Amino acid sequence: MIVLDADSLMSGQTIVRLVHAIETNPTAGLVQTLPMVVNARSLFSRVQQFAGRLYGPMIAAGVAWWHGSEGNYWDHNAIIRVKTFAEAAALPQLRERKPFGGHILSHDFAGAALMRRAGWGIYMLPTLGGSYEEVPPSLPDFAARDRRWCQGNLQHLAVVPARGLHWVSRLHFMVGIVAYLTAPLWLLFLLLGMLISLQARFVRPEYFPKGFSLFPTWPAQDPVIAMWVFVATMGLLLLPKLLSLVLVWMRRSERREFGGALRASAGVIAEIIVSALMAPVMMIFQSIAVVEILAGRDAGWQTQRRDDGTVERR
C-alpha cells in the first residue's frame, strides 16, 4: 500500500518506481520518500517551502546514508508491505494515564521500529522526486500540530525500553524526545543568563569572602568559552544551509529553478532572518507544551487548517 495524507500528492512515475523498489528488495518492509512542500501561499508556509526545497535534499541524503536499513517513517508518502505491517507493527495502548498513556500519537516512528525489530528494512529514497505535501499556513497552526508531536514523542519514553528494538530505532526515539526537552532547557539557559547579567550589574561581588584568604575570588566568567559555544551553535545551525546553497550554485538546472545564484542567496538570507525570529517563539510554544504534558494535560488529535491562514495582527 502507498500511504498519503489529505494534503499529499505523488506522481504516477514515482508510484511505479516505489512499487519497483519494494518488489526488487524482498527484505524491504517500508520505503519512505522525501515529500517537498507545495501550494504555499502565506509568508510562513512559503518560507517552509523554500527551506524544504533548498535544504531538504542534502540533509535527507545524509540521513538516508547513516540510517541505512534502519530508517524512519513519517506516516505518509511511503510504500509499505501490508502483510509485514499487519503482523509486526501492531501498536499497544500505553498503560499510563494520558498524556503519557493511551494511543501513541507519534505512531509512525513506533511502527517503523517494530517492523525493523521483526527483521524488515526501513529505507528512504531521498532523490526519487515526485512526492509532495502541504504545511500549516501560519505559525499558530504549526504550533498546534507541533503540540501533538511533542506529546507523541514524549510518549516514546515508554517505548524506548521495549525488547528487541534495533539501537538505531532507540536513537530515533531519543532524538525526538530530546528535540522537545531542549526547548525548556534553552529557555532556562536564557533566564539564568539574564539573572547573571543583572547580578553583575546590581550586586557588588565579594572578592574576599568570609575567612582568611591571601588571594581574591574573582567572578567566574570566561568569554572565550562563551564565544566558542556561540560559534559551535551557529555552525550547527548555518553550515547545512550554506552547504545546500553551494550545491545549488554548482548545479545549473537547480540554480535556474531558484531564479539564479543571486536570488537563491538572497532567499537563504531572508529565510535565516525569519527562522531566527520564529525560533524563540517556538521555544516558548514547546516549553509550554512540555510543562503541560508533565502536568498531565492531554492535547488530543486536532485537525489541521488548510486555508491561506490569515492571522490577526494582535
**Which CATH number belongs to the domain containing residue 192 in this structure?**
3.90.550
Residue at 66 is within a domain: yes
Provide the pLDDT for residue 122: 96
Q: Is the pLDDT of residue 298 over 90?
A: no
Task: Kindly tell me if the per-residue pLDDT of 220 is higher than 80.
Answer: no
CB-CB contact of 21 with 79 (8 Å): yes
Is pLDDT above 80 for 302? Answer: no
Query: Is residue 307 one of the residues assigned to a domain?
Result: no
Q: What is the model's pLDDT at position 306?
A: 65
Residue 78 lies in a domain: yes
**Amino acid letter, residue 100:** F
> Is there a domain that residue 306 lies in?
no
Query: Average pLDDT of 217-235?
Result: 85
Mean pLDDT of 287-307: 83
Is the pLDDT confidence value at 22 over 80? yes
Which of 110-114, 187-191, 219-223, 305-309 bottoms out in mean pLDDT, i.e. has the lowest?
A: 305-309
Domain that holds residue 266: 1-204+224-298
Work out the pLDDT band at 221, boundaries 50, 70, 90.
confident
Can you give the pLDDT at residue 251?
93
Note whether residue 125 is domain-resident. yes
Q: Structurally, how many domains does the chain consist of?
A: 1
Does residue 234 lie within any of the structural domains?
yes
Beta strands in the chain (DSSP E): 2-3, 8-10, 28-33, 36-37, 78-80, 121-125, 131-133
Provide the pLDDT confidence category of residue 112 given band limits of 50, 70 and 90. very high
* Region 285-310 average pLDDT: 82
**Residue whose entry in the numeric block shows the C-alpha cell 501492531:** 90
113-133 burial: b if 16+ Cβ within 10 Å, else e: bbbbbeebbbbbbbebebbbb
What are φ and ψ of residue 45, in 5° steps?
-70, -30
Secondary structure, 3-state, 252-266:
HHHHHHCCCHHHHHH
Could you give the residue ranges of the DSSP H alpha helices within 37-138?
A: 43-67, 82-88, 107-117
Tell the burial category of 253 from Cβ atoms under 10 Å away from its Cβ (0-12, 13-18, 19+): exposed
What's the one-letter identity of residue 295?
A
The pLDDT of residue 150 is 93
Judge whether 218 lies within some domain.
no
Residues 6 or more apart from 231 whose CB is under 8 A from it?
A: none
Query: How far is the C-alpha of 62 from the C-alpha of 67, rounded, in Å?
Result: 8
Would you give the distance in Å from CA 291 to the centre of its chain? 19
Residues 246-272 have pLDDT tens digits of: 999 999 999 999 999 999 999 999 999
Asked if residue 308 is part of any domain, the answer here is: no
Q: What is the mean pLDDT of the chain?
A: 91
On whether the CB atoms of residues 3 and 63 are closer than 8 A, the answer is no
